[in-house]
Amino acid sequence: MSEQQHRNKSGFETRAIHAGYEPDAATGAVIPPIYATSTYKQDGVGGLRGGYEYSRSANPTRTALEGNIAALEEGERGFAFASGLAAEDTLVRGLCRPGDHVVIPDDAYGGTFRLFDKVEKVWGLEYSPAPVSDLEKVAAAVRPGETKLVWVETPTNPLLNIGDIEALAAIAHDVGALLVVDNTFASPYLQQPLTLGADVVVHSTTKYCGGHSDVVGGAIVVKDLDLAEKVTFHQNAMGAVAGPFDAWLTLRGLKTLALRMERHCDNAERVVDFLTSHPAVGDVIYPGLETHPGHEVAQRQMKRYGGMVSFRVNGGEAQALSVCERTEVFTLGESLGGVESLIEHPGRMTHASVAGTDLEVPADLVRLSVGIETADDLVADLERALG
């Protein structure tokens, strides 16, 4: 049994704390040191010591994070980047060429859409949006011989649509494409796409993986070693790597991911219960609701339903903006997945880049990242804000 297979047989919480690093041989340090160095003394010309020569290529702190997140996603190799978008760009340029085609969600995160529409498209990559929850439309968007990636978020940002990972993998593989799953919203604790047939997982580790709103980062995890070689080359060649302090903070966050996600889910369910009965709220969007169209799929492929909640208000955009401005415990801000609760207006904030496109989000939509505060305080805060 390989070391990776042994790690993957341990429980999630055990892997989160131990995978990727052994106590330091020299000092016994149980937490990886922050290797704040740019270069390394080599054992002769071309003789790398422990595989290290220059910290863009590899750094021991980053190596620990990469091994840890690979174990949590039950993959073979992990890669840490300066941001989620840096990870995405590196992956796309490593696996695609000008003239290729990808399928993306029709309600993708605004930054991902901007990357494909304003950066990769200029480079020569074509894309087609399709709803991740509609297998027939995804299959119709695929171009045999041209499509290299089927790119999926599940749950999606911000409409929380659910894609059937196993079925989407079959669609991609039928035409020789790879399935890429952005697992940011679920986190590795709630969902492991590689075990369901996906080829690549991407993360904004800024969010639940880091979990404390104090670091920006991204990650890629793959299960195929040939694919890993391509990502390794482009990670080094493009250079958008995670610095050692950022890697250390993210690794620290991953150690408590399981505990945090349970509380995020508990609090989100309390918030959903409140919102579904409030007269000012028209529609509550949460995969844990039996009325959610993706509930059965989410129930099958997720451990729980996550800490993200979206809802639409009856008073239109004006009321949505008012709610965002009136909360006190929920902080008005972009991002998500931290210990603190956040509220935002996607149409004016995180998804402003899709305004006027087919991916435009409803103006009356409010998105919550439900934190780990006292649930009663969160409910009371929303009750005040909704008037």
Catalytic residue set: 56, 109, 182, 207
**Spatial contact of 202 and 220, defined as CB atoms under 8 Å apart:** yes
Q: Which of 229, 246, 307 is nearest to 86 (CA)?
A: 246
Q: Identify each DSSP E strand in the chain by its residue range.
A: 77-81, 101-105, 126-130, 147-153, 178-182, 200-203, 218-222, 281-285, 308-313, 331-332, 342-344, 365-369
Burial 218-238 (b: 16+ CB within 10 A, else e): bbbbbbbeebbebbbebbeee
Residue with tokens 């889910």: 265
Report the SS3 class of residue 246: helix
Backbone angles phi and psi of 29, in degrees to 5: -55, 125
For the sheet containing 218-222, what is the strand order? 77-81, 218-222, 200-203, 178-182, 147-153, 101-105, 126-130
Q: Which two tokens stand for residue 197?
A: 């047939």
- What lies within 8 Å, CB to CB, of 350 at 6+ separation is 109, 110, 111, 157, 158, 334, 344, 367
DSSP state of 241: B
Q: Which of 74, 86, 70 is nearest to 251 (CA)?
A: 70
CA atoms 139, 145, 147, 148: torsion sign: positive
Q: Which of 282, 301, 273 is nearest to 370 (CA)?
A: 273
Backbone angles phi and psi of 337, in degrees to 5: 85, 5
DSSP state of 117: I
Report the SS3 class of residue 283: strand
